[in-house]
Structure 1
Amino acid sequence: MTDFRDLSLQGIWKNNPALVQLLGLCPLLAVTATVVNGLGLGLATLLVLVGSNVTVSLIRNIVRNEIRIPVFVMIIAGFVTIVQLLMNAFTYELYLALGIFIPLIVTNCAIIGRAEAYASKNSVGAAAFDGLMMGLGFTLVLVLLGGLREALGGGTLLAGADRLFGPVAKDWTLTLFTTEHPFLLAILPPGAFLGMGLLIALKNSIDAHIAARQTVVHQKATRARVTAEN
C-alpha cells in the first residue's frame, strides 16, 4: 500500500511529467487552447502510458538489453496507433483538432522514460499503476492549462465537449463572461508558455510552503524532546 501511495504522489505531484520533469511540453503547449483538447490528448497519453508500461513489464525478462529501447519504441508506437484509430472512429472532430499531436505521442519522453526507468524493472501491477498515475498527472496539467487559457481567452469552459463525450455534452459549455474581443494572448502560443510558467510557479510555491511548515514542526518536536530529556 505504501508503494502505491508513493507512486500516486510521485505521478501526480512530486515527479509530475509536465511540472517537474518538463517532458512532453510540445503537445502540452500546442493543443491546450481549450479544456476538451487538453483532456482528449491527456486521456490518449494515459492509455498509451498504461498499455506500454504493462507490455514492457510483461516482456522485461525476454527482451535482450541491447535492443530494449527500439522494442520499447515499437510497443509505444503500436499503442499510439490503436488510440489514433479509436479516436478517428469515435471522436473524429477531436481527432482532427488534435491533428499531428496524436501520433507525436510516440516521441513523448515521459512515456519512453517510464518504460525504461520503471516498467522494465517492476511487476505488471506496479507498472500499470505507475503509468496510470503518471498519465493522470500529465492529464491534470493539460486540463488546468486548457481551462486557464480557455477561460481567459474566450470566457468559457468545456466548449466543444460534444467532440469528446458525444451529443449528450452539447449543453455542457459554461459561459463565464461574454466579450466581443477575445484575449488573444491567452489563446495563442505565448499564452501557453505564460500559463505553464504560472502553474510551475504555483507548484513551487506550494512545495516551499509545505517544506517550511515541516521544518517548523520538526523544530518544535526537537525542542519538546530536548525539554523532556532535561
Structure 2
Amino acid sequence: MEMKNASNLFKLKQTEKITTDIKSIDKFLRGGIALGKITELVGTPGTGKTQMCLRLCLNVQLPQKIGGVEGKALFLDTRKDFDPARLQELATDLEKRLQNQLTDFKASDMLKNVFYLDCPSAAQLIASILNLRKLLSAQPTIKLIVVDSLAFPIRMLESVAERTALLMEIHDAMQRILRLYSVTFVITNELGYHRRKRRWQLQPILGQKHMHLINERIWCTENEYFMGKTLNTRMFITKK
C-alpha cells in the first residue's frame, strides 16, 4: 500500500478540478469543480443547468497535460433532459477550440466517454446510486457523476417523511462513494415557492437538511450566475 503525506494530498486536491468554462465561476472555485465534493446547480427551468452538466461531461475529459483530470462521466437522467445531439454539438465545438493544442482530442471519442443511465423514478434513482460502487469498480476512470435532476423524482413522492428519508439515503450513499473513489457529484435542484413569515418566497425545493450536505451551490438565472448556500447570502458572480 502506497502512503502519501499531507502535502502531497493537498497538492493533489488543488489540481483535481473540472473547469466550468465560465471564468468567474472557476475563479471563485479556485480552478473549477473539485473532486471529492457535491456541487449543486439550482434554478428554474430553462436557466442552463442541464447545459452546464453536459459541458462538464466533456470538460472532465480534458487531459492532465493541460490541467484536466482526464476522466469519464456518468449522467443519471431523471427527467429526460439529456440531449445527445446537443452533447455532440458541444463536443464538436470543444474539439475545434482545442485543435491546436490537442490533435487527437476528437468529438467522437468524447461521446464514448459519457455513460448514461435513465432513472425516471425515485426507486430507479436510488437503485442506480446504490449500484455505483460496482459500476465504478468496472469503470475506474469515471470522475464525474451527474444527477439531473435530483429534485424531480423526490418531489413526486407524496409523503414528506418519504421524501426526507430518500434524500438522506441518497446523501449517505454519495458520501460513501466520495470516501472510496476520486470522483465528484454534480446535482441539479429546482426552485419552488415556500411560505415564510406570511410571505411566499422562491426557494430551492430540497430544503435545509440537503443544503447543509452539499459543498457548493451555483444559482443559475436567465441572465446571471450566483454562488452561495441561501438566497439571502448568495453572491453575484457574472452575467451570462
TM more than 0.5: no
- In terms of Rg, which structure is larger? 1
Q: TM-score, normalised by structure 2?
A: 0.23
- What is the TM-score normalised by the length of structure 1? 0.24
